[in-house]
């Protein structure tokens, strides 16, 4: 947000006599006192000093003298921090246009970029998917020249030739077009990808044949996608066919990031290759399918769970990379705050029997926490047996079973035999149905310690869902020792972190004031090469630990609502909610408010941060 000066747009409004300098300076003083994300242009509109049409008119008259990056900041499409990050990337990528960098690094979508140029600056937007270019316009053009300068002539209007440019601000590209086509051209905006694809098809004077994607090419594409995903630490690979392309995205640190786009012709062969590897039905293309596959890379074995989903443009495939845990993380290192860790070890892990449930959505780190707990309690005097889908880490001293439905080695079949193995501790990878939930509570009734995971929003929801699975309330209240909810939030990048003040709107959502947070130093990443200019690198776990006491057990027996159980838990068990634990880590400069709001449910208003820190021992 620009607050130091009036900026380029306001200067143009003054130049075109839509605004007086006196009004501009007054608006600047008003804007400097605001704590919102509004731009100076927004403030001028709020003061009724200017209108949208005047802004568009001033921009249109002067558009070729504007710098696109500054314009986007002043209009609120980008933050100054994002523009600076893009300019830093541009220094390392000589020859790339700023618009191209903004789109490729997802600072702005191509749609928003084109909308800005079209709506605000008056450039006509040409959609080359639907627009048919007259043959006489392009039959003799040198395609290489157009490719090198990122433009294509699209139609003639009176005595002017309309030319679509990937970057209508590039003076070099416009000069190149004028040298080729003459001075009477009208600048329009087109998608860089569409221009590139159209020129490729026109290269021989006609629409060129598409690239042939054979079996060997598909093998190379699939191998490269999987290996690149593993190297980048992606948890999921999304392969998505659309009308004109096949798009591949990776989920890295919980966020989907565009990896690459392919010609649509690659989609069927890539899908066929993945079906072969995952033992899915190659001939079936109209129904959804599931499968599994293994992949070897640099001496390590990786499991990939495959989901194939039939869409209108073809089969969308998601590969979940089930990370084989290279090294068990000790319970002391998983990110629990001091007092929570002390109580968890004493009252839960050292308890002789009962059920420990670790809850959270897919990809929230439940398995890592589960293995940390097993590692803490295993010893030569204890018999530990597991039922997992799949076994992600082979541990010495415990008996592990990997579920395999293909040979009828199901959860139900395995759990039936687990209790006959004279175990002290039973680990159920996940409670999936009534049967596995029933086995867990009945095993705890007979003196076993049971560790398991569950998909619920928070700790209280775990108890409620058990009750909704027809498990008797008295069984839940007498066997469940602890429900631990968790999430993973992105860490602020240590290489580019800087101090910042939280926005008043963020504090208002939490019921805090500036005075409540003034004693803490909040951190935010500026964006650098280490974090791919996101401001985040790595993730940190946040926890909500509910250890049941007699008040909570009584509330379960009385079938009280989730709100009432949560209120009782906070008041009597020392429960610190997920939101509160996350805010403690924000105050320590580990993560940000944006991450908290993105990932953590806001169920009840949080307590003051100093009180949360006292409960957590920070």
Give the CATH number of the domain where residue 277 resides: 3.30.450.90
Domain termination residue (choose one: 58, 90, 120): 120
Q: Which tokens is 195 given?
A: 């221009």
- Classify residue 529 by its DSSP letter: G
Query: Do 132 and 155 touch, CB atoms closer than 8 A?
Result: no
Q: Give the HSE-up count for residue 182: Cα atoms under 13 Å, Cβ half-sphere.
A: 7
Look at residue 210 and tell me whether its pLDDT is greater than 50: no
458-484 burial: b if 16+ Cβ within 10 Å, else e:
bbbbbbbbbeeeebebebbbbbbbbbb
Contacts of 308 by beta carbon, 8 Å cutoff, 6+ apart: 271, 274, 275, 280, 288, 289, 290, 291, 315, 316, 317
Residue 432 lies in a domain: yes
Tell me, yes or no, whether 464 and 339 share the same domain. yes
Angle at alpha carbon of residue 278, lines to 272 and 281, rounded to 5°: 55
- Residue 57 within any structural domain of the chain: yes
pLDDT at 209: 42
Q: List Cβ neighbours of 322 (8 Å cut-off, separation of 6 or more).
A: 302, 303, 304, 305, 390, 392
Quick one: pLDDT at residue 587?
Answer: 95
For residue 101, pLDDT over 90 is answered with no
In this prediction, residues 91-109 reach a mean pLDDT of 81
Q: Answer whether residue 207 shows pLDDT above 50.
A: no
As a whole-number percent, the residues of the chain with pLDDT over 70 amount to 94
Residue 329 above 60 pLDDT?
yes
Residue 208 belongs to a domain: no
Question: Is 215 or 405 the better-scoring residue by pLDDT?
Answer: 405
Q: What are phi and psi of 52, to 5 degrees?
A: -55, -45
**Predicted pLDDT at 358:** 96
pLDDT at 533: 85
Q: Which pLDDT does position 577 carry in this prediction? A: 95
In a domain, 1, yes or no: no
* Integer Cα distance of 114 and 303 in angstroms: 41
Indicate whether 208 pLDDT > 50: no
Same domain, 317 and 414: no
Last residue in a domain, options 304, 322, 340: 322
Instruction: Check: CB of residue 261 under 8 Å from CB of residue 246.
Output: yes
Which of 303, 322, 341 terminates a domain? The answer is 322
pLDDT band at 512 (very low <50, low <70, confident <90, very high): very high
Confidence of residue 1 (pLDDT cuts 50, 70, 90): very low
Which range of residues forms the domain containing residue 139? 124-201
Same domain, yes or no, for 345 and 380? yes
Task: Please say whether the beta carbons of 238 and 251 come within 8 A.
Answer: yes
Residue 356 or residue 172, greater confidence: 356
CATH code for the domain in which residue 358 is found = 3.40.50.300
Check whether residue 115 and residue 148 sit in a common domain: no
499 close to 560: Cβ distance less than 8 angstroms = no
Whether the per-residue pLDDT at 492 is higher than 90: the answer is yes
Cβ atoms within 10 Å of 198's Cβ, excluding its own = 22
Q: What is the percentage of the chain residues whose pLDDT exceeds 90?
A: 42
Do 191 and 234 sit in the same domain of this protein?
no
CATH, residue 166: 3.30.300.160
The total domain count for the chain is: 4
User: How does pLDDT run across 144-156, given as a tens digit for each residue?
Assistant: 999 999 999 999 9
Q: Which residue has the tokens 């924000």?
A: 586
Question: Helix and strand tally (H, E) in the chain?
Answer: 27, 19
Residues 399 and 268 in one domain: no
551 and 437 together in one domain: yes
pLDDT at residue 211 greater than cutoff 80:
no
Tell me what the pLDDT averaged over the chain comes to: 87
pLDDT in tens, 27-62: 888 888 776 667 888 888 888 898 888 888 888 777
Residues 6+ apart with CB under 8 A from 327: none
- What is the reported pLDDT for 216? 65
Residue 564 clears pLDDT 70, i.e. is over it:
yes
Classify 588 as helix, strand or coil: coil
Q: Are residues 156 and 301 in the same domain?
A: no
DSSP string for 318-387: EEEEEPPPSSPPPGGGS---HHHHHHHIIIIIT-SSEEEEEE-STTSSHHHHHHHHHHHH--TT--EEEE
Ranges 105-109, 113-117, 241-245, 535-539, most confident: 535-539
Give residue 390's pLDDT band: very low, low, confident or very high (50, 70, 90).
confident
Identify whether residues 11 and 57 lie together within a single domain. Answer: yes
Considering only 99-108, 358-367, 506-515, which range has the smallest mean pLDDT? 99-108
pLDDT in tens, 340-352: 999 999 999 999 9
Q: Is this prediction's pTM over 0.75?
A: no
Same domain? 316 vs 445: no
* Interval 358-380: pLDDT, tens: 999 988 889 889 999 999 999 99
366 shares its domain with 505: yes
Unique residue bearing structure tokens 């033992």: 279
574, pLDDT greater than 70 = yes
Which region among 79-88, 339-348, 513-522 has the lowest average model confidence (pLDDT)?
Answer: 79-88
118 strand-pairing partners: none
What is the distance, to the nearest Å, from the Cα of residue 57 to the centroid of all Cα atoms in its chain?
38
Q: Are residues 63 and 77 in the same domain?
A: yes
pLDDT digits (tens, 9 = 90+) for 424-465: 999 998 898 888 899 899 999 988 999 999 998 899 999 999
Has residue 209 been placed in a domain? no
* The pLDDT value given to residue 94: 74
């Amino acid at each position: 947000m620009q607050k130091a000066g009036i900026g380029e747009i306001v200067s143009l409004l003054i130049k075109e006599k839509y605004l007086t300098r006196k009004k501009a300076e007054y608006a600047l003083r008003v804007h400097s006192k605001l704590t919102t994300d509004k731009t100076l242009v927004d403030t001028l509109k709020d003061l009724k000093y200017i209108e949208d049409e005047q802004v568009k008119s001033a921009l249109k008259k002067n558009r070729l003298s504007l710098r696109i990056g500054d314009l986007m900041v002043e209009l609120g499409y980008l933050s100054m921090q994002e523009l600076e990050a893009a300019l830093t990337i541009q220094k390392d990528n000589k020859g790339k246009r700023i618009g191209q960098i903004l789109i490729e690094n997802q600072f702005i979508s191509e749609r928003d970029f084109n909308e800005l140029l079209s709506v605000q600056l008056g450039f006509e937007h040409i959609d080359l998917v639907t627009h048919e270019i007259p043959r006489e316009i392009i039959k003799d053009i040198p395609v290489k020249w157009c490719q090198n300068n990122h433009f294509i002539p699209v139609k003639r209007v009176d005595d002017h030739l309309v030319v679509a440019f990937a970057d209508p601000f590039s003076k070099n590209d416009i000069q190149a077009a004028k040298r080729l086509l003459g001075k009477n051209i009208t600048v329009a905006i087109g998608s860089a990808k569409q221009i590139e694809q159209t020129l490729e098809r026109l290269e021989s004077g006609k629409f060129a044949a598409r690239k042939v994607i054979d079996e060997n090419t598909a093998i190379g594409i699939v191998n490269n996608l999987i290996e690149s995903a593993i190297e980048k630490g992606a948890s999921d690979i999304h392969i998505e066919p659309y009308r004109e392309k096949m798009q591949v995205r990776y989920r890295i640190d919980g966020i989907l990031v565009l990896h690459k786009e392919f010609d649509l012709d690659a989609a069927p062969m890539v899908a066929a290759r993945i079906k072969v590897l995952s033992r899915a039905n190659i001939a079936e293309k109209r129904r959804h399918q599931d499968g599994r596959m293994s992949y070897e890379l640099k001496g390590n074995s990786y499991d990939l769970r495959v989901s194939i989903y039939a869409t209108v443009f073809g089969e969308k495939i998601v590969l979940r990379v089930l990370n084989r845990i290279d090294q068990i993380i000790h319970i002391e290192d998983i990110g629990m705050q001091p007092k929570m860790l002390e109580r968890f070890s004493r009252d839960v892990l050292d308890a002789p029997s009962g059920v420990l449930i670790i809850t959270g959505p897919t990809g929230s780190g439940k398995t890592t926490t589960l293995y940390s707990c097993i590692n803490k309690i295993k010893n030569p005097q204890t018999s530990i047996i597991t039922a997992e889908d799949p076994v992600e880490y082979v541990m010495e001293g415990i008996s592990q079973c990997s579920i395999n439905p293909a040979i009828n080695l199901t959860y139900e079949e395995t759990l039936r035999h687990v209790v006959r193995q004279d175990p002290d501790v039973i680990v159920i990878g996940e409670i999936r149905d009534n049967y596995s939930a029933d086995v867990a509570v009945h095993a705890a009734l007979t003196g076993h310690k049971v560790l398991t995971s569950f998909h619920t929003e928070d700790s209280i929801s775990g108890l409620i869902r058990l009750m909704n699975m027809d498990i008797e309330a008295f069984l839940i209240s007498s066997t469940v020792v602890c429900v631990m909810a968790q999430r993973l939030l992105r860490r602020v990048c240590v290489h580019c972190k800087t101090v910042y003040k939280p926005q008043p709107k963020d504090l208002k959502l939490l019921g805090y004031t500036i005075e409540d947070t003034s004693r803490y130093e909040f951190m935010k990443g500026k964006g650098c090469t280490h974090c791919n200019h996101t401001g985040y690198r790595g993730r940190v776990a946040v926890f909500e630990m509910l250890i049941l006491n007699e008040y909570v057990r009584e509330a379960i027996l009385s079938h009280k609502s989730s709100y009432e159980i949560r209120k009782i838990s906070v008041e009597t068990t020392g429960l610190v909610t997920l939101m509160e634990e996350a805010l403690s880590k924000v105050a320590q400069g580990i993560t940000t408010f944006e991450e908290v709001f993105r990932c953590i449910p806001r169920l009840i208003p949080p307590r003051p941060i100093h009180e949360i820190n006292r409960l957590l021992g920070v």
